[in-house]
Structure 1
Amino acid sequence: MHAIVVRATGGPEALTYTEHPDPVPNPGEALVDVAAAGVNFIDVYHRMGRYPLSLPFVLGGEGAGTVTAVGEDVEGVSAGDTVAWSNVMGSYAEKVAVPVSRLVRVPEGVSAEVAAAVTLQGLTAHYLTHSVYEVKPGDDVLVHAAAGGVGLLLVQMAKLRGARVIGTVSTEEKEKLARQAGADEVLRYEGFSEAVRDLTGSGVHVVYDGVGAATFDGSLAALRPRGMMALYGQSSGPVPPLDPQVLNQRGSLFLTRPALAHYVATREELTWRASDLFDWVASGKLKVHISGRYPLAEAARAHEDLEARRTTGKLLLLP
C-alpha cells in the first residue's frame, strides 16, 4: 500500500508519499480500506515535532472506510461494515489497522467521506458544547475561527442548544460561511473583545478558542464574570505562561485546556457523542462543509493550504 510517512520532522516537505507494508490486524483490531482521511491541525503539530512522536511514523489520526478483515477477539464489527475513527495514528494511508474500541459505525445516509470529515472535529465540538461548558438556551457564546472545521460545527451545535453565537473570522468569504452556519454576529479579529462587550453588555458566557496566542488575551477580556475560557487549540502558536491571579482580576474566570481523548475516555462516552453526531448529520440538522479534497500523494499541498489559512471547513485526503 501507499502511505504518508514522516522520517524527519519539519515543513510540509517532510510528508513523503511512499510504499509501506500493509498493516495486519492484531487481536482486538480491524483492518480498514481507507476511503478518506481527515486533515487536522494536530497533524501539523505532529509533522513539525511540536507534539513529538517516535520517528518514522505514518501521519494522520482520523478517517473512514470499509472493514476488510478483523483480528482475534473482535466482536460487533465485521468485513463490509462502514466505520469511522479518530485519535488513531497512521490514517494517511490506503489501509489502517484500528482498535475496535476506537471504531464507530457509520449509519445509512452518511457517506464515508462525510464521516471522515466530521468525526474528530464533530466529537470535539460535541464535548466542548455538551461537557466542557454545557451551552444553555440564551447563553452568549464566542467561537473563534468560526468558518474553520471545528468552528462551523461549534456554531451549529451552540445554535442547536439555543445560544446566541458570535463568531470571529478573517475574511468576507469566511463571514458568509459562518452566517450560513447560524452565527448571529460575525466579527473580524481586530478589536473583537470590545465589539463583543458592545454586543452583550457584560461579555459572553463561554469562549471556544482554537487559535491560541493571537486571541487569548482578547478572549479573556470578552468573558463575563465567572465565564469559561475553553482553549482547545493553538493554530497561531502556544499561549505564554499565565499568572492565575489574572483570572481573579477579570471576574473569577474559569480556564481549561481540554483534549478530545479525555472526553471519549470510555466506550460509552464515545458512542454517545458519535451517535448524536451522525444522527444530526443524517437528519440535516448538522451540515458538514468539505472545502478541499486532495489525492493522498498531495498531502503536503493540503498542509500548505491549511497553514496558510486558505481553507474553510474540512480538508480530506483520498487514497
Structure 2
Amino acid sequence: MDENTGRELVLTGIGAPEDVLTSRNTRRSHPGRGRVLVRVEATGVSFAEVQMLSGRYPMQPAFPFVPGYDLVGEVVAVGAGVTSCRPGQRIAAMPRTGAWSDYAEIAANSAVVVPDGVPADEAVALITNGVTAWQLLHRSTRVRSGDVVLVHGAGGGVGATLLQLCRLAGIRAIGTASGHRHDALRELGADLVDHRTEDVARRVRELAPGGVHAVFDPIGLDSLRRSWELLAPGGKLVSYGSADTIDETSASWRPHLDIARQLAGWEVRRRLGRTGGRSASMYYVRPDGRYRADLGGLLRLLAGGELHPLISHRIPLSDAAHALDLHRSGKSTGKIVLLP
C-alpha cells in the first residue's frame, strides 16, 4: 500500500469476532470542514465493542461500521476552518466509532494534544477509561483523602485506573476482581476481594465496618442493590454500566431503564429523608469541555510519571478479533491496546 492507502476493520453484524470483523483497504481523503485526518498510532478495545458484537450497545450505528472508541495519532491534514490542530501534532480523541483503522477523520474540537514523549499505548488507555475513572472519583462524588471507596470490576481498564487515582488522592480503595487478577492489581495499593470465591458484602463490612463513602459499579441492577447496602451514611453509589446483561436477549435499552427506575426510587427516598443521606446516580462519559480538560490533566500526570496505566496486552490491529475474544473471556487485566 502507498501512503495514501490504509486499512480499516469493519463490523458487519452480530456474531463471533472472527466471523463478523473484516478488513478492507481505503483511500485517504482530505478532511471536511472542522475536521482533521489522523494517522492512528494506537487504539483500544473496550466493553463497548464487546456489546456491539451482540448489538447491545445503546445507539450504536447500523451495520456495517468501523468500531473503535478511542485513538491516539498524528494529525496529517486539517479541514477548512480548523485552528485548534495542525499537521504533525499528536492528539488523543474519543470518536466512539471509526478508530480501528490506519487513518481516522475526527472533529477537530474533540482532540486533545498529547504531551511530547508520552507513549501512544499508555495515552490511549486514558482516553475513555482514564477520564471515566477521574470523573467518577472527582466529579460524580465528593470523596476526600482518608475516605474509603468500593471499586467493582477493579481488573478492568476503568477499575484499575480508579485504584491508581485513589492512591494518588489518599483515598483507601477496596476492589473486587477475580483471583487470577490480584497479582497484577496488588501493587496498585487496594484491598482486594475475589468476587467469585468470597462473600463480597461480608468482606467489605470487615474491611470498612462503618460502610464505604462511595461505590463505583459497572455490573448491573442486582449488584447495585447489594452495593447500596454497603454505603456509609451520606455515601454515594454511581452506576456506570450493565456488564452482567451482555448475554441477555431483551432490548439493549432495557437494563438501563431498569437501573434508572431503581435510581429514581432511591432519589425519591433521599428527598424524603429516608436514606441517611445516601444517594445514587448514573454516569456516562461525554466528550464535552470537562472531558477535554480532564483528559488533558490525566495526560500531564502520565507525562510527569505520576500515573501508569495498566495495559494488559498490545495486539496488532489485524488481530482485533483475537483481542475481542480476550476481552470477552475476562482473562485480561487492564486495557487491551491495538497497534495499527
Same fold (TM over 0.5): yes
Distance 2:222 2:126 in 1: 26
Distance 2:221 2:29 in 1: 39
Paired position in structure 1 for 2:151:
143
Distance 2:44 2:201 in 1: 32
Paired position in structure 2 for 1:292:
313
* Matched position secondary structure for 1:57: coil
Confirm whether residue 94 of structure 1 aligns to residue 115 of structure 2: no
- Report the CA distance between 1:17 and its aligned residue: 2.0
Instruction: Indicate if the aligned counterparts of 2:67 and 2:96 stay in contact, CA closer than 8 A.
Output: no
- Report the CA distance between 1:213 and its aligned residue: 4.8
Per-residue CA deviations over 1:158-183 (Å, capped at 9, x if unaligned) read 22222111111111x42122221121
Confirm whether residue 11 of structure 1 aligns to residue 16 of structure 2: yes
Are the structure 2 counterparts of residues 175 and 136 from structure 1 closer, same or farther at C-alpha, using a change threshold of 3 Å? same
* Matched position secondary structure for 2:244: coil
- Report the CA distance between 1:246 and its aligned residue: 5.8
Q: 2:128 aligns with which of 120, 124, 135?
A: 120
Instruction: Indicate if the aligned counterparts of 2:68 and 2:97 stay in contact, CA closer than 8 A.
Output: yes
* Matched position secondary structure for 1:233: coil
Are the structure 2 counterparts of residues 166 and 42 from structure 1 closer, same or farther at C-alpha, using a change threshold of 3 Å? same
Q: 1:38 aligns with which of 31, 41, 44?
A: 44
Are the structure 2 counterparts of residues 229 and 87 from structure 1 closer, same or farther at C-alpha, using a change threshold of 3 Å? farther
Give the total of aligned pairs.
Answer: 313
Paired position in structure 2 for 1:259:
284
Distance 1:9 1:20 in 2: 23
Q: Which amino acid counterpart does residue 194 of structure 2 have in structure 1? A: R
Paired position in structure 1 for 2:164:
156
* Matched position secondary structure for 1:292: strand
Distance 2:27 2:55 in 1: 24
- Report the CA distance between 1:102 and its aligned residue: 0.8
* Matched position secondary structure for 2:74: strand
| Range with greater deviation from structure 2 (82-91 or 12-21) | 12-21
Q: Which amino acid counterpart does residue 47 of structure 2 have in structure 1? A: F
Per-residue CA deviations over 1:64-118 (Å, capped at 9, x if unaligned) read 1111111000112111111111134200111000111111101023112211222
Q: Which amino acid counterpart does residue 7 of structure 1 have in structure 2? A: T
Q: Which amino acid counterpart does residue 290 of structure 1 have in structure 2? A: I
- Report the CA distance between 1:7 and its aligned residue: 2.0
Paired position in structure 1 for 2:33:
27
Distance 2:292 2:266 in 1: 38
* Matched position secondary structure for 1:285: coil
Distance 1:62 1:169 in 2: 25
* Matched position secondary structure for 1:43: helix
TM-score, normalised relative to structure 2: 0.86
Per-residue CA deviations over 1:224-279 (Å, capped at 9, x if unaligned) read 23321111122222475555556747645322111111xx422xx23320222012
Instruction: Indicate if the aligned counterparts of 1:231 and 1:258 stay in contact, CA closer than 8 A.
Output: yes
Are the structure 2 counterparts of residues 284 and 6 from structure 1 closer, same or farther at C-alpha, using a change threshold of 3 Å? same
Instruction: Indicate if the aligned counterparts of 2:8 and 2:23 stay in contact, CA closer than 8 A.
Output: yes
Paired position in structure 1 for 2:66:
58
Are the structure 2 counterparts of residues 65 and 200 from structure 1 closer, same or farther at C-alpha, using a change threshold of 3 Å? same
TM-score, normalised relative to structure 1: 0.91
Are the structure 2 counterparts of residues 288 and 245 from structure 1 closer, same or farther at C-alpha, using a change threshold of 3 Å? closer
The residue correspondences of 1:1-319 to structure 2 (distance < 5 A) are: 1-12=6-17, 13-51=19-57, 52-171=60-179, 173-183=180-190, 185-189=191-195, 190-213=198-221, 215-237=223-245, 238=255, 240=258, 243=262, 244-245=264-265, 248=269, 251-261=276-286, 264-266=287-289, 269-319=290-340
User: Where does structure 2 lack aligned partners over 5 or more consecutive residues?
Assistant: 1-5, 246-254
Q: Which amino acid counterpart does residue 169 of structure 2 have in structure 1? A: R
Q: CA RMSD in A?
A: 1.9
**Percent of aligned positions that are identical:** 33
* Matched position secondary structure for 1:236: helix
* Matched position secondary structure for 1:147: coil
Instruction: Indicate if the aligned counterparts of 2:122 and 2:308 stay in contact, CA closer than 8 A.
Output: no
- Report the CA distance between 1:55 and its aligned residue: 2.2
Q: Which amino acid counterpart does residue 175 of structure 1 have in structure 2? A: H
Instruction: Indicate if the aligned counterparts of 2:10 and 2:65 stay in contact, CA closer than 8 A.
Output: yes
* Matched position secondary structure for 1:303: helix
